[in-house]
C-alpha cells in the first residue's frame, strides 16, 4: 500500500508545528506578486471600463468580446437548457436552499423595547440595494454556486441582483447553461460574461455596460479573491475569503473506513491547493482509512487523484489525538470550512456542543460533504483560511442589514442628561454637552 495521509500526532507537535497546520492567512492565498497584478488590472478597469474588461477576458480567458456582448440577453437566458436529470436536481436543490433561507429570514425580525422609562430602541431589517454574485466558470460548471448565492439574495428581497460568470474556454463566448437555467428559475435577468477579476472590478466601479453594485460575493480563484479584497479599498463590501476549499473529519473506532475515505475525497479532489485533514483517536482507524484511500485514488482520473494526494498529503493529513475532546481542540484551532463528525450520533451531539469554529458541522456518516454542497439546503459558500472563527456562511443574512431606531421623551432625555454631559466633557466635545445643558434653559 502507498500511504496517502501525512501522519501527525497532536501531543508531540510543538507550537510552531501546530501553527503550521492550523494557521492560514490571506497571504497564503494571494501572493504579493498576484496582488500587484490584480491592483493594476482593477485600475485599468476603473479608467477604461468596458474596454479593459474585454481586453482582460481576451487575455486570460481566450475569448474575444465586444462591450455590448458582456451582458447576456434575456433570449439567451430563456433558451438555456440542461438535461432532464440536472433540471430536476436544480429544482430540488433550489427548493431546499430556499426553505432553509426562508427559515433564517423568519428569525430575522424588526424589534423594539423600552430601554428606560420613555426611551425606546430597536432595529429594522432591510435588504442591501444591489449585489453582485460571482459564479466560477471557464474550465468547470458550477450551477450549485449560482443557487447557493442567488437563493439567499432573492429571499432577502435584494432589488437588484447581478450575476457574473466567466465564459467557456472554447472561444464562443457562451457561458455554462446550467448557471443560466438557475438564473431563469430564480428570476435573475442581469447576467454578465467576463473575466473574473476584471468583472469584479466592473461590478465595483461600474462601467457603461455593467452598473455598479454595493456588495460582491462568491468563491473563485486566488485572482478573484484578490480582486474582491482589493475592491474593499474602493468602498465595495465583500465577504470573507472563499477558497481554496478545506475540510476536516473526526473519526473514532465506530467510523466505517470505506465511507470515511469516500467522503475525505470529496473536497480533496477540488485542486492541489485544497486541504483535507482527518482527526482520529485511534491509529488503526487511520491505517484502515489510508488503505481505502489508496485503492480509491487508483480508480480516479489522474488529475483529480493528483489533487487529492496533495490535499491529503502535502497540505493536510491525519492528526492522531488522545481523546475526542482533544479532537475538538484541533478543530477549533483550525476553524475548517467543512467538518464531518464521522462517529456515532450520541458522541457526535456532544462534539457539536464543544465545537465553535467551523463553517458547517455535518453529523454522521450519512451526511457527506457532497450532500451539503448540493442538496441539503444549508449554506455551501463558507469561510476558509481560518475565517470560520469569526464569520459565517452565506445565507439570507449576508444580504440584509439592520438600522437602529430610537426615540426618547423629554423626561427620558432629562434623566440621561447627566450621563451625556459627563461623557461629552470627558471626551472633549462641547457641542455634545451643550445640546443638553442649553436645551432646557
318-331 pLDDT tens trace? 999 999 999 999 99
Q: Which residues are catalytic?
A: 337-338
Whether pLDDT at 91 is above 70:
yes
Residue 339 β-bridge partners: 248, 361
- Asked if 239 and 131 touch (Cβ cutoff 8 Å), the reply is no
180 and 118 assigned to the same domain: yes
347 and 433 assigned to the same domain: no
Can you tell me the distance from the alpha carbon of 69 to that of 66, in angstroms, rounded to the nearest whole number? Answer: 5
- Binned at pLDDT 50, 70 and 90, residue 239 comes out as confident
- Both ends of the chain: CA-CA distance in Å? 88
Residue 399 forms part of a structural domain:
no
Residue 1 forms part of a structural domain:
no
The tens digit of pLDDT for each residue in 243-294 reads 688 999 999 999 999 999 999 999 999 888 899 999 999 999 999 999 999 9
40-43 CB contacts, 8 Å cutoff, 24+ apart: 41/197, 41/198, 41/201, 41/227, 42/197, 42/201, 42/204, 42/205, 42/227, 42/230, 42/231, 42/234
Residue 391 forms part of a structural domain:
no
266 and 357 assigned to the same domain: yes
Instruction: State which residues form the domain around 188.
Output: 32-238
CATH number at residue 368: 3.40.50.1980
38 and 88 assigned to the same domain: yes
Residue 286 forms part of a structural domain:
yes
**Over residues 374-394, mean pLDDT:** 93
Whether pLDDT at 138 is above 80:
no
Tell how strand 215-217 and strand 130-134 pair up: parallel
Residue 181 forms part of a structural domain:
yes
How high is the mean pLDDT of the chain?
A: 94
225 and 189 assigned to the same domain: yes
Whether pLDDT at 357 is above 70:
yes
- Asked if 297 and 4 touch (Cβ cutoff 8 Å), the reply is yes
Q: What pLDDT score was predicted for residue 240?
A: 65
Residue 251 β-bridge partners: 280, 342
The tens digit of pLDDT for each residue in 54-70 reads 999 999 999 999 999 99
Looking at the 3D structure of the chain, how many domains does it have? 3
Whether pLDDT at 241 is above 70:
no
Residue 388 forms part of a structural domain:
no
Amino acid at each position: 500500500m502507498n500511504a496517502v495521509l501525512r501522519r501527525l500526532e497532536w501531543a508531540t507537535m510543538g507550537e510552531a508545528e501546530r501553527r503550521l497546520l492550523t494557521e492560514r492567512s490571506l497571504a497564503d492565498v494571494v501572493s504579493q506578486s498576484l496582488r500587484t497584478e490584480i491592483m493594476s488590472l482593477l485600475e485599468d478597469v476603473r479608467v477604461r471600463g468596458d474596454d479593459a474588461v474585454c481586453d482582460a477576458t481576451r487575455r486570460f480567458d481566450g475569448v474575444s468580446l465586444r462591450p455590448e456582448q458582456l451582458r447576456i440577453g434575456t433570449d439567451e437566458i430563456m433558451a438555456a437548457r440542461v438535461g432532464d436529470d440536472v433540471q430536476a436536481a436544480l429544482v430540488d436543490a433550489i427548493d431546499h436552499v430556499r426553505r432553509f433561507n426562508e427559515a433564517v429570514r423568519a428569525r430575522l425580525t424588526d424589534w423594539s423595547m423600552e430601554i428606560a422609562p420613555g426611551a425606546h430602541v430597536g432595529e429594522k431589517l432591510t435588504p442591501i440595494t444591489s449585489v453582485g454574485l460571482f459564479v466560477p466558470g471557464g474550465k468547470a460548471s458550477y450551477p450549485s454556486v449560482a443557487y447557493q448565492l442567488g437563493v439567499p439574495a432573492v429571499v432577502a428581497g435584494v432589488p437588484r441582483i447581478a450575476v457574473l460568470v466567466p465564459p467557456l474556454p472554447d472561444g464562443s463566448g457562451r457561458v455554462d447553461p446550467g448557471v443560466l437555467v438557475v438564473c431563469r428559475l430564480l428570476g435573475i435577468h442581469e447576467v454578465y460574461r467576463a473575466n473574473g477579476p476584471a468583472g469584479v472590478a466592473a461590478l465595483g466601479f461600474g462601467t457603461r455596460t455593467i452598473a455598479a453594485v454595493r456588495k460582491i460575493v462568491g468563491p473563485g480563484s486566488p485572482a478573484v479573491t484578490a480582486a474582491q479584497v482589493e475592491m474593499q479599498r474602493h468602498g465595495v463590501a465583500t465577504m470573507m475569503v472563499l477558497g481554496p476549499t478545506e475540510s476536516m473529519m473526526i473519526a473514532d473506532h465506530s467510523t466505517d473506513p470505506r465511507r470515511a475515505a469516500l467522503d475525505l475525497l470529496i473536497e480533496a479532489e477540488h485542486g492541489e491547493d485544497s486541504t483535507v485533514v482527518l482527526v482520529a483517536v485511534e491509529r488503526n482507524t487511520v491505517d484502515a482509512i489510508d488503505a481505502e484511500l489508496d485503492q480509491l485514488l487508483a480508480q480516479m482520473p489522474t488529475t483529480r487523484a493528483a489533487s487529492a494526494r496533495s490535499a491529503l498529503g502535502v497540505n493536510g493529513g491525519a492528526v492522531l489525538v488522545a481523546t475526542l475532546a482533544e479532537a475538538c481542540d484541533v478543530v477549533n484551532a483550525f476553524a475548517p470550512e467543512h467538518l464531518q463528525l464521522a462517529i456515532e450520533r450520541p458522541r457526535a451531539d456532544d462534539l457539536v456542543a464543544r465545537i465553535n469554529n467551523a463553517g458547517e458541522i455535518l453529523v454522521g456518516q450519512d451526511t457527506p460533504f457532497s450532500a451539503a454542497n448540493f442538496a441539503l439546503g444549508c449554506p455551501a459558500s463558507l469561510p476558509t483560511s481560518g475565517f470560520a472563527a469569526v464569520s459565517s456562511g452565506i445565507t439570507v443574512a449576508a444580504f440584509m442589514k439592520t438600522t437602529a431606531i430610537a426615540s426618547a421623551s423629554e423626561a427620558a432625555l432629562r434623566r440621561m442628561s447627566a450621563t451625556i454631559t459627563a461623557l461629552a466633557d470627558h471626551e472633549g466635545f462641547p457641542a455634545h454637552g451643550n445640546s443638553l445643558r442649553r436645551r432646557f434653559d
